[in-house]
A and B are shown apart, each in its own frame.
Chain A
C-alpha cells in the first residue's frame, strides 16, 4: 500500500506531541522484538512502524487498528536504546484520535461510564450483599459534585 504523507497532520503531531522524544527513534526495531502483540503477528502491531508513521505524518496511524492494539505493557519502553517512550506516544496519538471522533466505540463508552458513575464498574445489589457478608465497609459515596465538574471539563 502506498504511504501518503499529510503535511498538515505532520505539523499537528509535531505541535501537539512536541514534549515526546519519538524523533530520537532510529528504527532499530528493538521495540517490535519485545512486543507481545508483534510476536503474535507483525500485522497486528509493529511499534517501530507506528513511530515512523507519526514522525513522517501518515494520518492513517490514527484510524488503522494497530494503534488500538498496544496493551501498554511497557516492555518496549524498558528496552529502547533511545529512551523513546512508545506508550506515551500511543496515549498521545489515541487522545488525538479521540478528539477527532475516531476512537473505537468501546473506548468512548468507557469515558461515558466513568463520567456517569465515577467508576468503570457498577455497584450491584449482589456485591453490596457480599461486601456486607465479608464485613467490609460500604463502597458507595456521593460523587455527583465532582462528576458534574468533570463532565464540564470533558465537554
Chain B
C-alpha cells in the first residue's frame, strides 16, 4: 500500500492516545505506511467552530491540508482517525475546490503563513482506507487472534458516511461497511433499528439533556451486545459519558474499531491503552483470553472525569 499522511486529531492525540497507538499498530501490521507531519492544529471542530466562524474554520482546515501536502505538495492522501476530522477536512477540501471566492481568500491567508493552498490530496478515514484497499476478506487473512464468541453492535457515526456527496463512503442511510469489518474479525454483529442515528454529542454544549437522551436511547438499544463499536472518538466519549452519568443504563463497553482490530492482529491490551477506558472492558478482554491489564495500568485513569 502507498504512503498516507496521518492526521491524529485533537481528541485522539490529547484524550485517547490509545486510539492513536492502536491505529499505528494496525497500520504497521497491515504494511501501510503512515507519515507524520509537524504543525497541525485542531481540524477544527466541524460543529461549533464552523457554526460560529465558518471563515476561521475554513482557514484552519485549509492550513492543515497545506501542512499535510508538505513542501512538494506530493501527498496522496490525508488519513483521519476521527469522523469529525474526516468531515471538516473533506468538507473544507470540497469548498476550496468549488467556491472560487472563498478559495481566493483562503489562498491569501495561507500565503501570509508562507504556505500554499493545496487541493490535490484526498481525505480519507482510516476505516475507509482499510475497507477500500484491503476489504473484509483480505483483512481476515491477517488475523492472529480473531474475536470469536463476541456479539458487537456498531455505531458508524454520522460523519463517516454523511453528507454522502462529500464523504463518498458506504450507504449514508444504511451503512454496512463497519458491520462487515467487525464481522471480518470473527464477531457476530447485532442489528438494531437506530444504527445510523446520531450519538448526540454535538449538542452537549447547547442542550445537555437532549444530548444525553440521544446517547442513552442508543445504549438501551444495544444492551444485549458485549460491546459497542465506534469509528469516532467523539461518539466514544459520548457513549462512555452517558454511562458514567446515568447509572440506570445497562453497561456496554465502548470500543474504537482499531482497538479491536489491533487485538485481533495480536496487540496486547496494555500497549494500545485499553486500560484507559472509563467503562471497563475487562470482561470482554477476559473472554478473549487476555489477563487483566493492570500490569500496564497507568495511575490516574480513574481520575478522568466525565465531561
Residue positions of A touching B, CB distance < 8 A: 36-37, 40, 44, 65, 68-75, 77-79, 85, 87, 90-92, 94-95, 98, 103-104, 106-108, 110-111, 114-115, 118-124, 126-127, 129-131, 133-137, 139, 141, 143, 145-147, 149-150, 153-154
**B271 at interface (Cβ–Cβ under 8 A)?**
yes
Shortest Cβ distance from A152 into B: residue: B112
Q: Is the CB of A71 within 8 A of B273?
A: no
* B67 → chain A closest CB, angstroms: 10
> How many Å lie between the Cα of A36 and that of B113 in the bound state?
41
B291 within 8 A of A: no
Whether the pair B53, A119 counts as a contact (CB closer than 8 A) is: no
Q: For the complex, count residues of B whose C-beta is within 8 A of A.
A: 64
Would A91 and B51 count as touching, CB distance under 8 A? Answer: yes
Chain B interfacial positions (CB closer than 8 Å to A): 8, 10-11, 13-15, 17-18, 20-21, 24, 36, 38-42, 44-56, 59-60, 63, 109, 112-113, 158-159, 162-164, 172-173, 196-198, 200-203, 205-207, 210, 213-214, 271-273, 276, 296, 298, 300, 303
Given A107-B205, A107-B206, A150-B59; 16 other pairs, CB 8 A cutoff:
A37-B214, A69-B203, A71-B200, A71-B201, A75-B196, A78-B164, A78-B172, A79-B173, A104-B205, A107-B51, A110-B48, A118-B42, A119-B42, A130-B18, A130-B273, A143-B41
B163 touches A141 (CB 8 A): no
Q: List 5 A-B contacts (CB under 8 A).
A: A74-B172, A75-B162, A75-B196, A143-B41, A149-B109
B198 near A73 with CB under 8 A, answer yes
- Cβ A98 vs Cβ B213 within 8 A: no
Instruction: Report which of B17, B38, B51 forms a contact with A141, defined as CB distance below 8 A.
Output: B38
Given contacts A37-B210, A121-B15, A149-B109, A72 and B202 within 8 Å (CB-CB): yes
| Chain A nearest CB, measured from B20 CB (Å) | 6
B contact residues around A36 at 8 Å (CB): 197-198, 200, 214
Residue of B10, B45, B196 with highest tally of chain A CB at under 10 A:
B10
Contact A71 B59 (CB under 8 A): no
A71, B202: Cβ atoms under 8 Å? yes
User: Which of B20, B59, B158, B196 is within 8 Å of A72, CB to CB?
Assistant: B158
The CA-CA distance from A143 to B201 in the complex, in Å, is 27
Chain B residues whose C-beta falls within 8 Å of the C-beta of A123 in the assembled complex: 13-14
On whether the beta carbons of B298 and A129 are closer than 8 Å, the reply is yes
Q: In the docked arrangement, what's the CA distance between A145 and B200, Å?
A: 35
- 8 Å CB contact of B298 from A65, A110, A130, A137: A130
Specify which chain A residues have a CB less than 8 angstroms from the CB of B162 in the assembled complex: 73-75, 77-78
- Please state if A139 and B49 are interface contacts (CB–CB under 8 Å): no
The CA of A129 and the CA of B273, in the complex, are separated in Å by: 12
